[in-house]
């Protein structure tokens, strides 16, 4: 989706290969190491849900102005948001709180999950407000976005509980504190 200048990273292990097309439009993401953050987060999600084989995901590291334009174009909301995701196909579970089925590809073909965009300024502000590092917050948002690509959402209560629980579990394995726990 993001076009030229995308970088490809193949990561093998646990029966999966991740091809992440990462395009950095805002240099601050490169300085933070978004490429490594994204690949690590994608790999952690896929390992957690047990998806095997070759998987493709695209990630755009942009600024608030760019994500506001994308949000207006695709969701009719002309304001910045932290992360957007565009699944390659609808994968949501029909029953509230149920896990979506894992995507399958034809033999020899990759599973194409879709695209994610993440905005720098809003993410940095959210991380600062929550007392978290931007690195950890970005990893959380990539995990969140990949789960959306897999069909998880937070529109219904039981779905939100399931998704947050999976995010917390994955982030815990990555050494990142529960982002939903309110500090006292």
Domain borders along the chain are 7-172
What pLDDT is recorded for position 4? 39
Strands of the 16-24 sheet, one edge to the other:
7-13, 16-24, 53-62, 111-119, 83-87
Residue 179 CB-density burial (10 A; 0-12 exposed, 13-18 middle, 19+ buried): buried
Please state which CATH number belongs to domain 7-172: 3.40.390.30
- Residue range 17-61, pLDDT digits in tens: 899 999 999 999 999 999 999 999 999 999 999 998 999 999 999
Task: Identify the DSSP state of 88.
Answer: S
The annotation places the binding site for Zn(2+) at: 144, 148, 154
- Residue range 86-136, pLDDT digits in tens: 999 999 999 999 999 999 988 889 999 999 999 999 999 999 999 999 999
The annotation places the binding site at: 144, 148, 154
What residues does 54 pair with on adjacent strands?
Answer: 17
Give the pLDDT band (50/70/90) at residue 181: confident
What pLDDT is recorded for position 10? 53
What pLDDT is recorded for position 84? 98
Cα 133 to the chain's mean position, in Å? 17
């Amino acid at each position: 989706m993001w076009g030229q200048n995308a970088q490809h990273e193949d990561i093998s292990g646990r029966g999966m290969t991740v091809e992440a097309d990462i395009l950095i439009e805002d240099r601050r993401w490169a300085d933070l190491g978004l490429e490594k953050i994204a690949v690590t987060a994608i790999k952690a999600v896929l390992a957690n849900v047990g998806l095997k084989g070759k998987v493709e995901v695209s990630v755009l590291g942009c600024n608030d102005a760019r994500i506001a334009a994308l949000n207006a174009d695709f969701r009719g909301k002309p304001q910045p948001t932290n992360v957007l995701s565009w699944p390659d196909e609808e994968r949501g579970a029909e029953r509230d709180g149920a896990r979506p089925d894992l995507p399958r590809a034809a033999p020899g073909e990759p599973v194409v999950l879709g695209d994610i965009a993440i905005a720098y300024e809003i993410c940095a502000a959210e991380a600062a407000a929550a007392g978290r590092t931007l690195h950890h917050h970005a990893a959380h948002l990539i995990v969140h976005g990949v789960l959306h690509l897999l069909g998880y959402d937070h529109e219904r209560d039981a779905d939100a509980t399931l998704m947050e629980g999976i995010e917390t579990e994955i982030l815990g394995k990555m050494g990142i504190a529960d982002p939903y726990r309110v500090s006292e």
